[in-house]
A and B are shown apart, each in its own frame.
Chain A
Amino acid sequence: MSGSRRGSRVSSGVGVGGSGVGGVPVVSARARARRVARDERAERRRAGRSGFSNPANPRRSTVMTLVCALFAVYCLFPFVYLVVNATKTQADFTSTFGLGFGGSFALWDNLSLVFSYQDGIFGRWLVNTLLYVVVGAGGATLLAIMGGYALAKFRFPGRKAVFVVVIGAISVPGIALAVPQFLLFAKLGLTNTPWAMIIPSLISPFGLYLMWIFSEQAVPVELLEAARVDGAGEFRTFWQVSLPLLAPGIVTTALFTIVATWNNYFLPLIMLKDSDWYPLTIGLNQWKDQASTAGGQAIQNLVITGSMVTIIPLVIAFLLLQRYWQSGLAAGAVKE
C-alpha cells in the first residue's frame, strides 16, 4: 500500500524513492529524519571546508534580511496605523499625529460604540457576513471540490468545453456580469435578499482550478480503481476515499473562497439596498461616506475600529492555517 502521501512541501532532499507507487519498504519516518539531518550536517561541514556554496544550507545574509525588512515594514505599517488609530477618539484622530497615540486611550469605548451605534447595526452586518461566508463560500468550496475532482479523475464528454468556458469566464469583467446579473435577479425578485449575495458567491473558478490541480496529484488512480473493483459506488468512493486525501487542498480552497466572500464589495453594492442585509464591507463604506454627506456626523474613529474588527477573523485564520494554504498552493503550482 502506498499509504503515506506527503501533504506538505518537500523541504529537504527527500523524494529519493519516497513516492513510489507500489510497496516502498517502510522505513520509520523518525529514523529517516534523523539520517537526513545527520547527512545535512555532514554536508555543511564538507561545504565549509571545501569552500563550495551549498544551496540547501547557505549562509544567512544580513543585508538581504534588511532589504526584505523594508518591504515587510511597508506591508505591515497599515496594520499598525489601524491598530494605533483604533485607540483614538474622533477628536484625537483629527488632531494628533497619525502613527502616535492620542490624548486618551479609547479602544474599548470605540469597540463598544461600534457595536452600539445605530442600534447595533454593526453586529447585524457581522452576522450577515458570516451567513454569506458560511453558505456562499462553503457552497463554493463544495462545488469546486466536486468539479475539480471530476475534471481531474474522469474523462467525460464536454470536459474540454468546461475548461475553456471556465477559463474564459475568469476574464469577463465583473461589471459585464454584474449589470445583467442584477437585472436577472431583479426579475426573479431576488435582489435585496441574501440570495442575491449567496448564489453568485457559489462559483469560484479559481477554487475549481485549485481543486482540479490538487485532485490530480493527491488521489491516486489505482486507489479509485481498487474501490470500484471492491464495488463502491462513485459517490461512496468520493466521500470515503478521495475526500480525506484532498483535505489540505480543501482547506486552501475554503480559505480563498472565504476571503473572496468576506471581502466582496462590488456584488453587495449593486445587489443590496436595504442596510439590514449589508455585509461589513458595504456597511463600513456607508459609515465612511457619512462624513461627506450634508450634515452627516464624521465617525472616522468608528470606521477605523470597525475595519479592525472586520479583518481580525481573517488575519487569525491565515495565521492559524499557514501550513495549509502554503502546502495547498504549492500543490497548485506544481503543474505550472
Chain B
Amino acid sequence: MVAPSVPVVRGSVVPGSVRGGRRDWRGWKFMLPFAVVFVFVFIVPIVYAVWISFFQRKMIGGTVFVGFANYARLFADAQFWDSVRRVALFTVVQVPVMLFLAAAMALALDSMKLHGSKFFRISTFLPYAVPAVVSTLIWGFVYGAKYGLVGSLNGLLGTDLDVLAPSVLLAAIGNIVTWEFTGYNMLIFYSSLSTIPHSLYEAAAIDGAGEWQIVRRIKLPELKGSLAITVIFSIIGSFQLFNEPSILQNMVPGNAVTTYYTPNMYAYNLSFSGNQSNYAAALAIVMAVITMAIAYAVQLRSMREQMK
C-alpha cells in the first residue's frame, strides 16, 4: 500500500490541509450530534440560568427584573457563605488525603512487589461501581449508633462513640467520599505509571539507581501529569457535594445536616422546596464561577497543553 507522501508526526497530526488552504469541515459530521445535544442540555440551560438570575418572583406583579439584586442578596447571605466554607474545608482536607492514598496504592501496585497485585487492583477499584445512594446507605447503617455497626461496637466495648455527631459529621462524609473515589483516582495514577517504558527503569538500575531513586526521579514526575486531572475532578466533585449529605440527612439524629449544608443542597432546597428558582440560579452561577476559577487556578493549564 502506498500512503500519500504526507509527513506523519507521531501519528497525531492530521493532514487537513492536504487539499490546499481550504477549510476542512468534515470533522463536523462526527462532532455535530454531540454538539447539538450538548447545546441543548448544557449551553441553553446555563444561558437560561443567567437570564432568570436577574429576575425575582414577587407576590404582587409576578416576575420582575431586578438587576443584580439576587447577587447582592447572595453576597450578604450568611447561610450561603457558611455552606461554601464547609465545602472548602472539606476539599482542603479530603482531596489531599484521598489523592495521597490513591497515589500510594498506585505506586505499590506498580512496584510489582505485592503478592496478588491483581486482587488489590480490583478490590480498590470496586467501590467505584457502587452508586452514591448505596454507599451512603451502607455507611449510614454502619455509622448508626442505634442499630448500626458503631452501635454494636459501643455495646461490645462499652464506649459511647458517635460518628454522626455534628462535630465529626463532615469527617464521616469525607470517609464515604474517600471510600467511593480512591480507587478511581488510583486507577488513573496507575495507568499513567504503567505507560513508563520499562527500559527506563532498567537503564536507571544499570546506572546504579536504587528503588527509591527510581520512585522519586521517574515515577513521581510521571504522576504529576495525571495529578492535574485528578485534582481538578476532585475539586469539582467536592464543591458539588450533594448526594452523601442529602441521603444521610434523615439517618443523622437531629438536624445536623441543615438545608444549607452544602451550596448544592442549599440551591436544591431553595428551588424545589423554597420556590426561589431565581435566587437558586444566582447561587448556582456564583458557585460555577468559584469552582471554575479554582480549577483553572490549580491546573487546568496543563490540560490545555494538549491543544498544541
Contacts and interface: CB of A to CB of B under 8 A. Distances in A.
A76 B142 contact: no
B127 interface: yes
Given A175-B268, A226-B1, 7 more contacts: A16-B199, A56-B112, A71-B120, A143-B34, A154-B26, A307-B137, A315-B126
A68 B24 CA distance: 52
Interface of B: 1, 3-4, 6, 8, 11-17, 23-31, 33-35, 37-38, 40-46, 48-49, 52, 101, 105, 108-109, 111-116, 119-135, 137-139, 141-142, 146-149, 151-153, 156, 179, 182-183, 187-188, 191-192, 194-195, 197-199, 201-202, 204-206, 210-211, 214, 225-226, 228-229, 232-233, 236, 239-240, 242-243, 247, 250-251, 263-264, 267-268, 271-272, 277, 280-281, 284-285, 287-288, 291-292, 295, 300, 303-304, 306-307
B95 to A, nearest CB: 15
A225 B194 CA distance: 31
A170 B122 contact: no
A151 B41 CA distance: 20
A160 B250 contact: no
A84 B307 CA distance: 50
Contacts of A61: 113-114
Nearest to A201: B41
Nearest to B292: A171
Given A172-B46, A265-B131, A329-B188, A179 B271 contact: yes
Contacts of B307: 160, 163
A329 B191 contact: yes
B108 A64 contact: yes
A303 B131 CA distance: 14
Interface in A269-308: 270, 280-282, 284-285, 288-289, 292, 300, 303-304, 307
B26 A82 contact: no
30 contacts: A12-B198, A75-B124, A78-B127, A82-B134, A146-B34, A154-B14, A156-B16, A156-B24, A156-B28, A158-B28, A167-B303, A176-B287, A178-B268, A183-B52, A184-B48, A199-B37, A203-B42, A216-B11, A222-B6, A222-B8, A263-B130, A263-B132, A265-B133, A292-B251, A307-B138, A314-B129, A315-B129, A319-B122, A333-B194, A336-B192
B147 A222 contact: no
B288 to A, nearest CB: 5
Interface residues of A, number: 131
A55 B49 contact: no
Given A94-B147, A221-B8, A284-B133, A76 B123 contact: yes
A82 B195 CA distance: 36
Given A304-B141, A311-B131, A314-B129, A156 B26 contact: yes
A173 B24 contact: no
A13 B268 CA distance: 53
Contacts of A183: 48, 52, 277
Interface of A: 1, 9-10, 12-13, 15-16, 21, 52-62, 64-65, 67-69, 71-72, 74-76, 78-79, 81-82, 85, 93-95, 97-99, 142-144, 146-147, 149-160, 162-184, 199-200, 202-203, 208, 216-217, 220-222, 225-226, 229, 234-235, 238, 259, 262-263, 265-266, 270, 280-282, 284-285, 288-289, 292, 300, 303-304, 307, 310-311, 314-315, 317-319, 322, 325-326, 329-330, 332-336
Contacts of A152: 12
A228 B285 CA distance: 46
A7 B52 CA distance: 49
- Find the residue from B30, B195, B306 having the highest chain A CB count within 10 A: B30
Contact of A59 (B26, B113, B210): B113
Nearest to B303: A167
Contacts of B306: 335
A189 B14 CA distance: 44
A270 B243 CA distance: 12
Contacts of B233: 170
Contacts of A75: 123-124, 126-127, 179, 182-183
A62 B108 CA distance: 12
Contacts of B109: 68
